[in-house]
Structure formats: structure tokens, C-alpha cells
Amino acid sequence: MVTLHVYDRPMCCSTGVCGPKVDPVLPRFAADLAWLKSQGVTVERFNLAQQPSAFSAHPEVKTALFGGIDCLPLIVVDGRIVSRGIYPHREILAGWSGINPATSLPVVGSCSTSGCC
């Protein structure tokens, strides 16, 4: 199965969904990563403020940082950088992971077999 690593900007916590001003993109992205995990994808997230050694241990990530932290977040799939500077949506993450989002996403508003919603 695919391995996806996220190299985040320095944040106060591992997901960035804490503190007085939460970027609304971060909770969505955290939910998308949880969904990927539920689909069998190995997901790891690294925070520059808390895990700088993870950034220096990956040669491509280390090289990308020579230009400054504006390249963050970096999304790495199976060792290769596939995205810089944005938090991609679930459909894009699914594509990189080899998952068909149309067959994996839950159907919203569907009724049970009993006919009750």
C-alpha cells in the first residue's frame, strides 16, 4: 500500500487545529488524512517545530527547504514530493494513493434498507 508523508510548517500542535486562530483548511485536511488511513494508506505527519530531524532526514525535503518554508506543506508519496505549499483535497490525495474516491466515499443522505432515514 501507499505511504503518504506530510511535512507541515511549524505549528503549535501536530495538526494545527489548536490555538486561537485555526486555519479552516487544517481540520478538513486532518479529516481527509484520517479517511486515507481508514482506506489502508499509511499516513505520517511531521511538524517542523516539533520534528525537525524528520525534515533533515529526507534528502528531497531538505533540498526543498533551502528555498525557505514557503514550500511547506510538502506532500510526499512513496518517497517522492508530489505537492508543495498547499493542502490538497481528498480527491487529489485519493488519486495519489491509488484509491477511487467515487467508490470509497460514503453516500450522504442515503436511506437504510428499512426505508427510514
Q: Give the three cell numbers for residue 22.
A: 485555526
List the one residue out of 43, 36, 34 whose CA is nearest residue 5: 43
Q: Give the three cell numbers for residue 84.
A: 508543495
pTM over 0.75: yes
Q: What is the mean pLDDT of the chain?
A: 84
> What range defines the domain where residue 50 resides?
1-56+86-103
Is 81 part of a structural domain of the chain? no
**pLDDT tens digits for 1-11?**
899 999 999 87
Is 75 part of a structural domain of the chain? no
The CATH number given to whatever domain includes residue 30 is 3.40.30.10
Is 116 part of a structural domain of the chain? no
